[in-house]
């Protein structure tokens, strides 16, 4: 929580996400009115992991809110790679399915890379297929981009945070966030044109590198990893992390924390995202955008 001594501007992802979802809802209403067609998103989840179940439930709920048809394929923990491939192949072949997402991580018995590469790139609304990653690297506007990086870029854009010429330091080099976000922000155009440094847990003098940022993105997957010594006065901070931290005083026995020590650094920042309520809602909103984009690309229903 930001206290009265904090001067930071809170980047409220929930508010921006609600606006984007309304835009998506309006676009779907137009599609239905002109063609009678409604986009469909198929979500595939394997196993009984509670966090994965919540994530998928939230995505399905968001789909329903904006008018996207949704299917939830919940498979048992015992599902094999071959069995999951059969489902993916079926969804690939169906003309009434526009987007496919697989909730990660998958159980160890399933080859995650094989599953990602099996999804039709045109239906890959997660943006993880090598073809979409390659298109993103080449600056192809037709690429379906991973939702969290796309949400980060859109949040900066919608919040009036200038990226042109800015030095962005991303702490984290995963294919889910760090690498695709770097590619996004290095592109030419609005919301991009940044100078990007990708750092990670093995970077030498990490705090020193981090302090050079105009915009700092924390996506390292370690609760409250980014402390005061990592940030300079006036930096903009996007906290991508969502971590459960044990806390006996809490009714649930845990609290949700980001990768940033929020209370410690917020007063030094010009703007900062909260956790929860910052980047998380943007990720779901951009999944809705990607689903509509995938539908329009496949059906030629774009305005």
7 included as an active-site residue? no
| 103 catalytic residue (yes or no) | yes
Reference 61, options 51, 52, 72; nearest CA is 72
Q: What residues does 221 pair with on adjacent strands? A: none
Listing DSSP states for 61-108 in one string gives: HHHHHHT-EEEEEEE-TT--HHHHHHHHHHHHH-TT--EEEEPSSPPT
Which residues lie closer than 8 Å to 6 by C-beta, 6 or more apart?
266, 267
The pLDDT, as a whole number, for residue 244 is 82
Which residues partner with 96 through β-bridges? none
> Regarding beta strands 243-246 and 269-272, do their DSSP bridges make them parallel or antiparallel, or are they unpaired?
unpaired
Distance CA 188, CA 55 (A): 33
pLDDT at residue 239, rounded to an integer:
98
Looking at 98, 120, 124, 126, which residue is catalytic?
A: 126
Strand partners, 196: 168
> What does the pLDDT read at residue 253?
78
pTM, 2 dp: 0.93
Give all strands of the β-sheet with 40-46 in edge-to-edge order: 69-75, 40-46, 99-102
Beta bridge partners, 44, equal 73, 102
**Are the beta carbons of 100 and 123 closer than 8 angstroms?**
yes
The CA-based diameter of the chain, rounded to the nearest angstrom, is: 57
Mean pLDDT, 10 residues at a time, the chain of 303 residues: 59 97 97 94 94 92 97 96 98 97 94 97 97 95 94 97 98 96 96 97 96 98 96 97 82 86 96 96 98 91 55
Instruction: Decide if 258 contacts 170 (C-beta within 8 A).
Output: no
Reduced to 3 states (helix: H, G, I; strand: E, B; else coil), residue 215 is strand
Residue 30 · residue 290 · CB < 8 Å:
no
| Cα distance between residue 275 and residue 213, in whole Å | 21
Say what the pLDDT of residue 299 is: 84
Structure tokens at 201: 């847990």
**Of 21, 98, 103, 120, which residue is the catalytic one?**
103
Query: Does residue 59 have an active-site annotation?
Result: yes
β-bridge partners, 198:
170
Measuring CA to CA, which residue among 235, 135, 239 is closest to residue 187? 135
**Which of 21, 59, 123, 179 is the catalytic position?**
59
Q: Which two tokens stand for residue 165?
A: 């010429």
Predicted pLDDT of residue 183: 97
Q: What angle do CA 99, 276, 128 make, to 5 degrees?
A: 30
State the pLDDT at residue 156: 98
- Contact 68/291 with Cβ under 8 angstroms? yes
Whether the CB-CB separation of 194 and 166 falls below 8 Å is answered with: yes
| Domains and their CATH numbers in the chain | 35-123 (3.40.50.10860), 146-280 (3.40.50.720)
């Amino acid at each position: 929580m930001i206290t009265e001594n904090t001067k930071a501007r809170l980047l409220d992802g929930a508010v921006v996400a609600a606006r984007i979802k309304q835009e998506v809802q309006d676009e779907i209403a137009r599609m239905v009115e002109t063609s009678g067609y409604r986009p469909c998103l198929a979500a595939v989840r394997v196993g009984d992991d509670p966090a994965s179940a919540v994530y998928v439930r939230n995505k399905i709920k968001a789909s329903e809110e904006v008018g996207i048809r949704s299917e939830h394929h919940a498979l048992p923990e015992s599902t094999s790679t071959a069995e999951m491939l059969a489902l993916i192949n079926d969804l690939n072949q169906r003309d009434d399915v526009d987007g496919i997402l697989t909730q990660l991580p998958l159980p160890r018995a399933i080859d995650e890379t094989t599953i990602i590469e099996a999804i039709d790139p045109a239906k890959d609304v997660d943006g993880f297929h090598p073809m979409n990653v390659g298109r993103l690297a080449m600056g192809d506007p037709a690429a379906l981009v991973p939702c969290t990086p796309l949400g980060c870029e859109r949040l900066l854009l919608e919040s009036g945070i200038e990226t042109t010429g800015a030095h962005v330091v991303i702490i984290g080099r995963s294919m889910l966030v760090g690498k695709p976000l770097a590619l996004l922000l290095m592109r030419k155009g609005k919301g991009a044109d940044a100078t990007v440094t990708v750092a990670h847990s093995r970077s030498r003098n990490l705090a020193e590198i981090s302090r050079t940022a105009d915009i700092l993105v924390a996506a390292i997957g370690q609760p409250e990893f980014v402390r005061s010594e990592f940030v300079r006065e006036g930096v903009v901070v996007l906290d991508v992390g969502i971590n459960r931290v044990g806390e006996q005083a809490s009714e649930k026995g845990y609290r949700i924390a980001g990768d940033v020590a929020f209370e410690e650094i917020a007063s030094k920042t010009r703007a900062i995202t909260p956790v929860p309520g910052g980047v998380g809602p943007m990720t779901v909103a951009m999944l809705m955008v990607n689903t509509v984009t995938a539908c329009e690309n496949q059906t030629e229903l774009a305005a």
